[in-house]
């Protein structure tokens, strides 16, 4: 059951425009490989079939995955382990380009892996391959292109399982005209696909905890923002320094309960508005009629209406 700490926070919550949340709230956090597509899978790709295979593609992917630790490379390593694909070779002169890809050298040959824009700088990517990757991306999969020297080897797609209850919650937030913003580390290339699958409105990237605070501060300056975590909701004050570990304004046992908090906020605000209307109406009536009885009745109605706040429980009173 929710614990409502501050009535003022409930009122402030009714004016929230943005909900910021970490990617870990949206997914199960276990990305996995879904498709291995070497270029010889595509007709007319222009490459010789006798030199390209799933194994060649995977071996290159494993070589590069050794050098970077992120959800995509972890998924590739797990997949290769299951197929008992190992490589004792090590790349030299490895360079990682955030949000793009990485490259390293082995036996004077440059191996690369990354986004379409990154790979296109070095090799030709047939349209049918990029079109296929676009289809996979629309299905919520993140595609990584791999090349060896001047040859494109193919693409590997990775996805993560979206928490259905969280996707439903994001849909409800959207219905309430609330904009969801997923916060993701900029070394995680699956974030865009995850956001599309979950129905997130926007993805904001950060490098470390300090840049994450800056991102949330920027959001709060653009519109009232609340930070959603698994055990509560924290209202971000405009211009104030964000502290992820601060006590939550609203506590709950699961992030999907956030909609109950918004329903409570709307109910409380409606009650307070009605109380204000009752007070004004009976003040005017008591002055016009000069009657103490009218004042007493007004006071009783005001008290009764205000006490309804105490009766608001989790998901019991909804004013939509």
Average pLDDT over residues 110-124: 93
Q: Exposure pattern of 197-236 as b/e (b: 16+ CB <10 Å)? A: bbbbeebbbbeeeeebbbbbbebbeeebbbbbbeebbbbb
Does residue 6 surpass a pLDDT of 80? no
What pLDDT does 3 receive? Answer: 44
pLDDT above 70 as % of the chain: 86
Task: State yes or no: pLDDT of 216 exceeds 60.
Answer: yes
The strand pair at 179-185 and 18-22 is best described as parallel
| pTM of this structure | 0.62
User: Max Cα separation, the chain?
Assistant: 100
Burial of 46 (0-12, 13-18, 19+ CB in 10 A): exposed
Q: What is the C-alpha separation between 290 and 279, in angstroms, rounded? A: 16
pLDDT at 94: 94
Concatenate the DSSP letters of all residues of 220-242 into one string.
HHHS-EEEEETTEEEEEPTTSPP
The residue with greater pLDDT, 52 or 31, is 31
pLDDT beyond 50 at 48:
no
Q: How far apart are CA 186 and CA 260, in angstroms?
A: 32
Q: Which of 5, 2, 16, 1 is nearest to 249 (CA)?
A: 5
pLDDT band at 193 (very low <50, low <70, confident <90, very high): confident
Give CA–CA dist 143/190, Å, rounded.
Answer: 8
pLDDT grade for 226, boundaries at 50, 70 and 90: confident
DSSP symbol at 43? T
Average pLDDT, the chain: 80
DSSP 54-82: HHHHHHHHHHHHTT--SHHHHHHHHHHHH
Query: Does 144 have pLDDT greater than 90?
Result: yes
The residue-averaged pLDDT of 269-283 equals 78
Question: Range with the lowest mean pLDDT among 223-227, 244-248, 251-255, 258-262?
Answer: 244-248
For 59-94, what is each residue's pLDDT tens digit? 889 899 989 888 888 889 888 888 777 777 889 999
């Amino acid at each position: 059951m929710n614990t409502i700490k501050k009535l003022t926070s409930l009122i402030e919550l009714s004016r929230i425009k943005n909900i910021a949340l970490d990617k870990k709230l949206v997914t199960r956090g276990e990305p996995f490989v879904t498709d291995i597509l070497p270029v010889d899978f595509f007709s007319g790709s222009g490459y010789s079939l006798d030199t390209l295979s799933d194994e060649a593609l995977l071996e290159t992917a494993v070589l590069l995955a050794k050098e970077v630790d992120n959800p995509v490379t972890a998924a590739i390593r797990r997949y290769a382990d299951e197929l008992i694909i190992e490589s004792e070779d090590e790349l030299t002169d490895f360079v990682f380009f955030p949000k793009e890809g990485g490259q390293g050298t082995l036996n004077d040959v440059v191996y690369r892996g990354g986004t379409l824009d990154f790979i296109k700088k070095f090799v030709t990517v047939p349209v049918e391959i990029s079109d296929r990757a676009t289809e996979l991306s629309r299905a919520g999969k993140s595609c990584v292109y791999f090349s060896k020297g001047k040859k494109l080897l193919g693409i590997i797609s990775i996805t993560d399982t979206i928490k259905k209850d969280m996707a439903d919650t994001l849909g409800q937030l959207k219905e309430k005209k609330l904009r969801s913003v997923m916060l993701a580390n900029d070394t995680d290339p699956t974030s865009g696909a995850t956001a599309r699958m979950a129905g997130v409105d926007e993805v904001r990237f950060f490098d470390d905890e300090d840049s994450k605070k800056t991102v949330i501060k920027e959001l709060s300056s653009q519109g009232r923002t609340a930070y959603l975590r698994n055990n509560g909701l924290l209202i971000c004050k405009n211009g104030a320094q964000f502290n992820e570990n601060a006590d939550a304004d609203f506590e709950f046992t699961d992030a999907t309960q956030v909609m109950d908090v918004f329903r409570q906020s709307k109910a409380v605000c409606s009650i307070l508005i009605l109380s204000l209307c009752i007070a004004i109406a009976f003040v005017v009536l008591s002055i016009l009629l000069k009657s103490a009885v009218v004042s007493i009745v007004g006071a009783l109605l005001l008290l009764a209406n205000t006490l309804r706040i105490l009766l608001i429980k989790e998901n019991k009173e909804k004013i939509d």
